[in-house]
Copies of this chain bind each other. A is one copy, B any other.
Amino acid sequence: MTDRKHSACCSYIHAHTDIVNEVRSKLPSEEVLYDLADLFKVFGDTTRIRILYVLFESEMCVCDIAQLLQMGQSAISHQLHVLKQNKLVKSRREGKTVFYSLSDDHVRIIIDRGVEHVCE
């Protein structure tokens, strides 16, 4: 148990080998791990969170959101693109304007859990 590669690591393993193997086997796949991190990254930005909060109330077009949040149209459009890519919002075209709305309830649930933690 002393023949280790990591020179910068401790010279023994505290956890039993079977526990280490069990933990390794329970780790999600690389793909799920990346998708998970990517999903949470989306929530890790105040602009996107504010957009989602706005959409909690009502579907809305790009420029209305921009005006509500006092931001440029381009910035909002870029962020809506990110949100859509991650299937958190969906869009509906009506003439020249595009209305965005939440794609499902997951969004609200995830954010509410976050609020619970933040507010202790």
Contacts and interface: CB of A to CB of B under 8 A. Distances in A.
Interface centre among A8, A15, A45, A111, by most chain B C-beta atoms within 10 angstroms, is: A15
A13 B26 CA distance: 51
Interface string A43-68: 11110011001101110110110111
Given A37-B43, A37-B44, A109-B113, A32 B68 contact: no
Classify the interface of chain A: helix, strand, loop or mixed. helix
Interface of A: 4, 6, 8-10, 13-15, 19-20, 22-24, 26-28, 32-46, 49-50, 53-54, 56-58, 60-61, 63-64, 66-68, 72-74, 87, 97, 106, 109-111, 113-119
